Amino acid sequence: MPEAPLTVAAPATAAPPRPARAGPPPMVLFGFGWLALMLAVALLADVVSPYAYTALDLRNRLSPPIGFGGAWLHPLGTDELGRDVLARLIYSIRTSLLIAFGATIIGALVGTSLGFLAAHFRGLVEQAVMALVDFSASIPFLILALAVLAFFGNSMVLLICLLGLHAWERYARIARGLALSAGAQGYAAAVRQLGATPWRLYGRHVLPNIASTLIVSMTLAFPEIILLESGLSFLGLGVQPPATSLGSMVGYGREYLTRAPWILLAPAITIVLTTLSVSLIGDWLRDRLDPTLR
Amino acid sequence: MRVGAELLKAEGLVRRYAMRRGMFGRSVELRAVDGVSLTIERGRTLGLVGESGCGKSTTGRLVLGMETPDAGSVAFDGRPVPPPGTAAWRALRARMQMVFQDPLGALDRRLPIGVQVAEPLDIHGIGARSERAARVESLLLAVGLRADQGARYPHELSGGQRQRAVLARALATDPALLVCDEPISALDVSIQAQVMNLLVDLQERFGMGMLFVSHDLRAVRQVSHRVAVMYLGRIVEEGEPDAVLQDPAHPYARALVAAIPHPGRSGRRTVLQGDPPNPADRPSGCAFHPRCPVASARCTQDAPTLKRRPDGRMIACHVAQGDAAPGRGVLAEAA
Amino acid sequence: MLRFLAFRLARAALTIAMVVTFAFIVLRMSGDPAQIIMGADAPPEAVDAFRTAWGLDRPLWEQYFHYFGAILSGDLGRSMRDGRDAIVLVAERIPATLALTIPALLIKVGIGVPAGIYAALHRNSLADRIVMVIAVAGFTVPSFVLGLILVLVFAVQLGWLPSGGQESWRHAILPIITLGVGGAAVLARFTRSAMLEVLGQPFIRTASAKGVPWRMVVTNHALPNAAIPTVTIIGFMVGSLIAGAVVVESVFSWPGVGRLLVVAVSNRDLAVVQCILLLVACTMVVANLVVDLLYGLLDPRLRSAPRQATA
């Protein structure tokens, strides 16, 4: 911060104080709690996991979870190779969250940059970006993703980048629209005519001003990406073995639906609770920060 | 740096916009500015007055080089203004600045005032970092704010204080030219006079040339050394403010002057007839003729040019120039 | 209106062209298309013949136009698995998919829209809460989880319905419900928020303040305005009739287009994938076009250009 000497009284990053409001409703608190738990599990997977996720226990194959006749040895039971469901769940959470976070951030970066480019250059650049926006908004993303996977085969990096393209057009629309309105009348035009470079204008002024809207969009896109990844992995086209994700666990557990439903139910419940939590947080943030966004 | 020396000269500025009627309609050419020439002198103020939509704000942006004119040229300090967005254009911003109509919109509401006043110094690398705090403080004091208000956010200040902050930011680089686009119209009437007095004081102190754009003829008179009246993208009269106000020559200027509420005056006022101007549908001949009370047949054919009268006043009107006998107006003649 | 139509048609054509371009680029980037389409074990002379036939030995831009021309004339290549025309292969599967997606669409619209309107009109009532909880659940429960739970309950535990296959109409019930419930939830949530937004507008308050009966305010003013965003979503659902059941068809081993796509992707049967991609893009674009024309009916402002210009 070059202006540091001026900002003794108030740090530049502090948002204007908002009127005090009641805390988040219990459901949202639950969402935050669950999400925190998931993050902790993902970060500490190596520490909290009772076994390696590929470790076999051939003597205890298809053992049920505790409460259904299982033993504490495998709290959530085992699959037909005797692999511990809890351990696999923990590593699946790590994989799925990594993909979802990576993809959400890529989508936001790509979309926001293209939106700013469109707003800044107008003309042909804008037309091209908006045509791309129309294109990706008009094809179901799952189909597009499947086509790319068919052509390129599969890898974790490709999967993250591919899912990152989901919802990029939303950020692009938002970034373009808000940058245009800031430029037409407001502070962006003022800063521009102070002689600021585009980098300064967009990085220091426009981006911080639209950050809350972008963050809300990211919270709304995040559960969709979890669902997409788990859908692809369920179909066997996403995360490939030996790596495991929540979706691939469900897909794998499907074979044992009648004999060992716990293999499938544990990751299924995790998917539902995680997407539910982030959706609740997203809705709450939207109402709080940016009621204009639907 | 002599006061009164030529600072900026704009010649024959034309700015057209393609405007579409509705979403998919045919595009119509709209001449927002249609051949405007003006000169701004050092330490002096040119007032630009007219109804909304007459192109006065566009003229302000063209003068600053924020838009490129479709025809005509702008020379600042004898050199043409570089195209917008280039590095040379950005560097020139240190010498020409703008004050906006809506001070809240013109400020970044996420940053404290002090940071924003310091921003031009930062952008143009003026002064050492350690000196900037002192510079910001003196700027805030110069525009009538307290030094501690630099830590406030825009929404914590009143409208007048915000406009002072915008002024402080505009003056930070000690510019030679300041374009004020309706700087007081968003303010309370009680604050307007304060801000205008401040502008006059600041001009005396910093010596910048100003273009003061407003729809308010009285405000323009208070701050300007010369005034230009615009109608539908053209200047129709230009002269000394007091002279124009006391004895307007162009029928449109007359109507503007007559529209000023005057305490103690009663009786009939000249009221403009006809529709307000629409730049997309420009009348033939003199653009003002459909609303003009003295329009003659010639006015409907022939556009008058701006000519200098012996007393220095510039007027664009066939009747006022004595080239056509006063008619009774198109509406009256049609009736 | 004619201009509007021409503009939309051009836009639709552009989108299709972009999908074709996309397929071309992806195909070129993924390796030698001749080798990929002919298969790795194809004899070299056949690959060469293919190259000449498709003009792969010519400059890239020429290939691009060639490719475009081939697709325009309906030549979408052959499946590398059984050598049949990809388009025939895909066309065979369409009826099976439609047998699921059309009834599911009726469920979505028939339940989702009324539930959303009701919830919005009785905001914060018990019914609204229930609708919202179900709607949120419908969004957060992925279709494969819902499908498998339905199988677990109705096929495995209760034994009422078959768990997969396509032998009789009873086999279609679970997949249709799985598809319909999720979509109805999304639609209910969307309709509710569109409706609430309209109900909060000044013209609604004006109308009710003027003494217009509430029922009339809702039917004459609120519903037509809320319909515009809702129709967009329904249009998207109609557009995905052909490919909207990828996951569900896999869950229930239903031999539709979606199942074909998944199998084709795992076998890297590129001609089939490309054919489905283009087919989906075309239905989607046509559906969007119809939605746009419906807008014209719902919103007269878009139908003809306003007369006066705003300066």
Contact partners, residue C176, CB within 8 Å, separation at least 6: C100, C103, C104, C107
* Chain B positions in Cβ-Cβ contact with residue A16 (cut-off 8 Å): 109-110, 153, 155-156
Instruction: Answer yes or no: is A235 within a domain.
Output: yes
pLDDT in tens, A41-75: 888 878 777 777 777 777 777 777 776 766 667 77
Q: Which pLDDT score, from 0 to 100, does residue C271 have? A: 77
Q: Which pLDDT score, from 0 to 100, does residue A109 have? A: 92
Q: Which pLDDT score, from 0 to 100, does residue A2 have? A: 38
Q: Are C35 and C41 in contact (CB under 8 A)?
A: no
Structural domain range at position B69? 6-95+175-252
Our CA-based measurement puts residue A11 at a distance from the nearest CA of chain B, in whole angstroms, of 9
* Chain A positions in Cβ-Cβ contact with residue C262 (cut-off 8 Å): 146, 235-237
* Chain A positions in Cβ-Cβ contact with residue C197 (cut-off 8 Å): 294
Is the model's pLDDT at A24 over the cut of 80?
no
Cα–Cα distance for residue pair B84/A270, rounded to 1 Å: 54
Angle between helix C86-107 and C257-267 (nearest 10): 130
Confidence band, pLDDT 50/70/90 cuts, at residue A4: very low
Q: Which chains reach chain B with 3 or more Cβ–Cβ distances below 8 angstroms?
A: A, C
Phi and psi torsions of C285, nearest 5°: -65, -40
Structural domain range at position A125? 34-39+78-293
* Chain B positions in Cβ-Cβ contact with residue A190 (cut-off 8 Å): 98, 100, 105-107, 166
User: Does A258 contact C156 at a Cβ distance shorter than 8 Å?
Assistant: yes
Decide if C228 touches A, using CB distance below 8 A: no
Is the model's pLDDT at B48 over the cut of 90?
yes
Looking at the DSSP bridge assignments, the partners of residue B33 are B15
The CATH number of residue B70's host domain is 3.40.50.300
Cα–Cα distance for residue pair C107/C176, rounded to 1 Å: 9
Closest residue on chain A to C289 (Cα): A138
User: For chain A, what is the domain count?
Assistant: 1
Query: What's the angle, vertex CA B200, arms to CA B199 and CA B206, rounded to 5?
Result: 80
Confidence band, pLDDT 50/70/90 cuts, at residue B294: confident
Cα–Cα distance for residue pair A229/B40, rounded to 1 Å: 64
Our CA-based measurement puts residue A151 at a distance from the nearest CA of chain B, in whole angstroms, of 39
Cα–Cα distance for residue pair B192/B160, rounded to 1 Å: 8
Peptide bond into C162 cis (omega under 30): no
Query: What's the angle, vertex CA C122, arms to CA C116 and CA C126, rounded to 5?
Result: 95
User: Does B109 contact A187 at a Cβ distance shorter than 8 Å?
Assistant: yes
How many CB contacts within 8 angstroms connect chain A with chain C?
Answer: 128
Instruction: Answer yes or no: is A52 within a domain.
Output: no
Which tokens belong to C64? 């691009």
User: In chain C, which among 43-82 make CB contacts under 8 A with chain A?
Assistant: none
User: Does B91 contact A197 at a Cβ distance shorter than 8 Å?
Assistant: no
Is the model's pLDDT at A239 over the cut of 60?
yes
CB nearest to C145's CB, from A139, A151, A268? A268
> Would you list the domain boundaries of chain C?
86-302
Closest residue on chain B to A3 (Cα): B115
Q: Name the DSSP class of A54.
A: T
Q: Which pLDDT score, from 0 to 100, does residue C304 have? A: 43
pLDDT in tens, B272-293: 666 666 777 778 888 888 888 8
* Chain B positions in Cβ-Cβ contact with residue A200 (cut-off 8 Å): 123
* Chain A positions in Cβ-Cβ contact with residue C274 (cut-off 8 Å): 147
Looking at the DSSP bridge assignments, the partners of residue B80 are B75
Contact partners, residue B198, CB within 8 Å, separation at least 6: B143, B144, B164, B167
Selected for mutation to probe chain C from A130, A143, A219, A234 (highest C CB count within 10 Å) is A143
Region A145-167 average pLDDT: 82
CB nearest to B24's CB, from C305, C307, C309? C305
Region C132-156 average pLDDT: 83
Which tokens belong to B171? 């003056």
Q: Name the DSSP class of A78.
A: B
Q: Which helix (H) or strand (E) is A178 found in, with range?
A: helix A168-184
CB nearest to C156's CB, from A140, A227, A257? A257
Cα–Cα distance for residue pair C261/C237, rounded to 1 Å: 19
User: For chain B, what is the domain count?
Assistant: 1
pLDDT in tens, B151-198: 998 888 888 899 999 999 999 999 999 999 988 888 888 888 888 889
Instruction: Answer yes or no: is B314 within a domain.
Output: no
Decide if C142 touches A, using CB distance below 8 A: yes
Instruction: Answer yes or no: is A26 within a domain.
Output: no
Q: State ipTM.
A: 0.81
Cα–Cα distance for residue pair A8/C43, rounded to 1 Å: 76
The CATH number of residue A279's host domain is 1.10.3720.10
User: Does B155 contact A16 at a Cβ distance shorter than 8 Å?
Assistant: yes
Secondary structure (DSSP) of A84-113: BHHHHHHHHHHHHHHHHHHHHHHHHHHHHH
How many CB contacts within 8 angstroms connect chain B with chain C?
Answer: 27
Phi/psi-derived region of residue A265, left when phi > 0, alpha when psi is between -120 and 50, beta in every other case: alpha
More confident residue, C229 or B235: B235
Instruction: Answer yes or no: is A46 within a domain.
Output: no
CB nearest to A193's CB, from B64, B105, B111? B64
Region A110-127 average pLDDT: 87
User: Does B24 contact C4 at a Cβ distance shorter than 8 Å?
Assistant: yes
Of C163, C168, C131, the C-alpha closest to C149 is C163
pLDDT in tens, C74-118: 777 777 667 777 788 888 888 888 888 888 889 888 988 888 888
* Chain C positions in Cβ-Cβ contact with residue B24 (cut-off 8 Å): 3-4, 7, 305
* Chain B positions in Cβ-Cβ contact with residue A185 (cut-off 8 Å): 102, 105
* Chain A positions in Cβ-Cβ contact with residue C132 (cut-off 8 Å): none
For chain C, what is the radius of gyration of the CA atoms? 24
Is the model's pLDDT at A227 over the cut of 50?
yes
pLDDT in tens, B102-123: 888 888 888 899 999 999 998 9
Confidence band, pLDDT 50/70/90 cuts, at residue A9: very low
Instruction: Answer yes or no: is B131 within a domain.
Output: no
Q: Are B115 and B107 in contact (CB under 8 A)?
A: no
Q: In whole angstroms, how far apart are CA B193 and each of B170, B188, B190, B200?
A: 20, 9, 6, 11
Our CA-based measurement puts residue C44 at a distance from the nearest CA of chain A, in whole angstroms, of 21
CB nearest to B21's CB, from C4, C7, C309? C309
Contact partners, residue C67, CB within 8 Å, separation at least 6: C20, C24, C54
Our CA-based measurement puts residue A172 at a distance from the nearest CA of chain C, in whole angstroms, of 18
Cα-to-chain-centroid distance, residue B17:
19
User: Which H, E and C letters describe chain C, residue by residue?
Assistant: CHHHHHHHHHHHHHHHHHHHHHHHHHHHHCCCHHHHHHCCCCCHHHHHHHHHHHCCCCCHHHHHHHHHHHHHCCCCCECCCCCCEHHHHHHHHHHHHHHHHHHHHHHHHHHHHHHHHHHHHCCCCHHHHHHHHHHHHHHHCCHHHHHHHHHHHHHHHCCCCCCCCCCCCHHHHHHHHHHHHHHHHHHHHHHHHHHHHHHCCHHHHHHHHCCCCHHHHHHHHHHHHHHHHHHHHHHHHHHCCCCCCHHHHHHCCCCCHHHHHHHHHHHCCHHHHHHHHHHHHHHHHHHHHHHHHHHHHHCHHHHCCCCCCCC
Q: Average pLDDT, whole number, for chain A?
A: 79
Q: Which chains reach chain C with 3 or more Cβ–Cβ distances below 8 angstroms?
A: A, B
Confidence band, pLDDT 50/70/90 cuts, at residue B224: very high
CATH for C86-302 (3.40.190.10, 1.10.3720.10, 2.70.180.20, 1.20.1740.10): 1.10.3720.10
Q: Which chains reach chain A with 3 or more Cβ–Cβ distances below 8 angstroms?
A: B, C
User: Does C311 contact B22 at a Cβ distance shorter than 8 Å?
Assistant: no
Instruction: Answer yes or no: is B265 within a domain.
Output: no
* Chain A positions in Cβ-Cβ contact with residue C136 (cut-off 8 Å): 276, 279-280
Q: Are C121 and C131 in contact (CB under 8 A)?
A: no
Q: Which pLDDT score, from 0 to 100, does residue B276 have? A: 67
CA dihedral A273, A275, A277, A282 (to 10 degrees): -170
Q: How many CB atoms lie within 10 A of CB C35?
A: 14
CB nearest to C305's CB, from B23, B30, B53? B23
Region B232-241 average pLDDT: 90
Cα–Cα distance for residue pair B113/B111, rounded to 1 Å: 6
Angle between helix C170-199 and C143-150 (nearest 10): 130
Our CA-based measurement puts residue C237 at a distance from the nearest CA of chain B, in whole angstroms, of 27
- pTM greater than 0.90: no
* Chain A positions in Cβ-Cβ contact with residue C285 (cut-off 8 Å): 138
CB nearest to B123's CB, from A12, A195, A209? A195
